[in-house]
């Protein structure tokens, strides 16, 4: 399996701002407009990282303390730009300093294998003949 390397960023140590007893607090309001004071969501991650390049996928669910961002194959320098940008000024997510890492090697291969498996299954599901062959055989 071939794939474009160095396109996936891992984000660890995401703060759980806007949660009570491991549940989403519907009435949460951030203290300021700063990104670090906002409840972390896929949309917030999209806003933060789209300046570095086109995003292909964001893996994150409310309440998780980690996420991964896969950039588009046409945005090869995006991961390096993001890592460099947050090296001097740390990224604050949910009032905690987030840890960014480039995903490489075996972990990267596993992610792409999972993506490829999902794409293959989806393609098979939507390209079935729905019994057309069976109808021809009956005639």
CATH architecture type of domain 8-103: 2-Layer Sandwich (3.30)
Q: Write the burial class of residue 79 (CB in 10 Å: 0-12 exposed, 13-18 middle, 19+ buried).
A: buried
Confidence tier at 95 by pLDDT (50, 70, 90): very high
| Distance separating alpha carbons of residues 19 and 7, to the nearest angstrom | 31
Query: What φ, ψ does residue 93 adopt, rounded to 5°?
Result: -130, 120
Give pLDDT, residue 134.
52
Task: Please provide the average confidence, as pLDDT, over all residues in the chain.
Answer: 86
Give 21's DSSP letter: T
Mean pLDDT of 80-87: 95
More confident residue, 110 or 81: 81
More confident residue, 114 or 87: 87
Give pLDDT, residue 115.
78
pLDDT of residue 51 exceeding 60 = yes
Query: What φ, ψ does residue 92 adopt, rounded to 5°?
Result: -105, 120
Burial profile 23-48: b = 16 or more Cβ within 10 angstroms, e = fewer: eeeeeeeeeeeeebbbbbebebbeeb
Confidence tier at 132 by pLDDT (50, 70, 90): low
Give pLDDT, residue 2.
72
Q: What is the pLDDT of residues 18-37, one digit of tens each?
A: 888 878 888 888 889 898 99
Give pLDDT, residue 30.
86
Give pLDDT, residue 136.
54
Give pLDDT, residue 131.
55
> Which residues, at least 6 apart from 46, have a Cβ–Cβ distance to it below 8 Å?
55, 58
């Amino acid at each position: 399996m071939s794939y474009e390397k160095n396109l996936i960023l891992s984000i660890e140590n995401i703060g759980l701002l806007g949660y009570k007893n491991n549940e989403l607090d519907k009435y949460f309001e951030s203290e300021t407009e700063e990104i670090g004071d906002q409840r972390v969501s896929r949309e917030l991650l999209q806003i933060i990282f789209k300046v570095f390049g086109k995003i292909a996928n964001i893996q994150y669910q409310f309440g998780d303390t980690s996420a991964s961002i896969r950039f588009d194959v046409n945005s090869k320098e995006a991961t390096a730009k993001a890592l460099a940008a947050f090296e001097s000024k740390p990224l604050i997510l949910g009032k905690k300093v987030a840890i960014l890492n480039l995903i490489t090697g075996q972990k990267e291969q596993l992610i792409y294998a999972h993506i490829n498996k999902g794409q293959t299954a989806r393609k098979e599901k939507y390209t079935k003949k729905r019994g057309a062959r069976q109808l021809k055989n009956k005639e």
